[in-house]
Amino acid sequence: MTNSTQPTAIAAAVQLPSLPTGIGGFFDDLDALKLSPEEAGYSATEVLMRVPVRKPLKHEYFRVKQGQDNCFTTVLYEDKETREYYFVAPAVIPHLRAVTDLSIATLVQFATKQKVFGIFPLKIATDATAPTGWHNTAMAAAELAKTKWVRMQADMALGAYRVFQAEGQLSEPEWPDMSLNEMLDIAFKDRVIASDDHPVFNKLRGRI
Q: What integer is the mean pLDDT of 43-60?
A: 89
Among 28-32, 129-133, 154-158, which stretch is predicted with the lowest mean pLDDT? 129-133
The predicted pLDDT at position 11 comes to 47
Measured CA to CA, the distance from residue 182 to residue 109 in angstroms comes to 12
Tens of pLDDT, residue by residue over 54-66, are 999 999 999 999 9
Q: What integer is the mean pLDDT of 187-200?
A: 94
pTM, entire model: 0.76
At 75, is the secondary structure helix, strand, or coil? strand
The predicted pLDDT at position 152 comes to 97
Looking at the DSSP bridge assignments, the partners of residue 104 are 75
Q: At residue 131, does pLDDT exceed 80?
A: no
DSSP 195: S
Tens of pLDDT, residue by residue over 26-42, are 778 888 888 776 666 66
CA dihedral 59→147→68→163, nearest 10 degrees, is 40
The predicted pLDDT at position 43 comes to 64
The predicted pLDDT at position 53 comes to 97
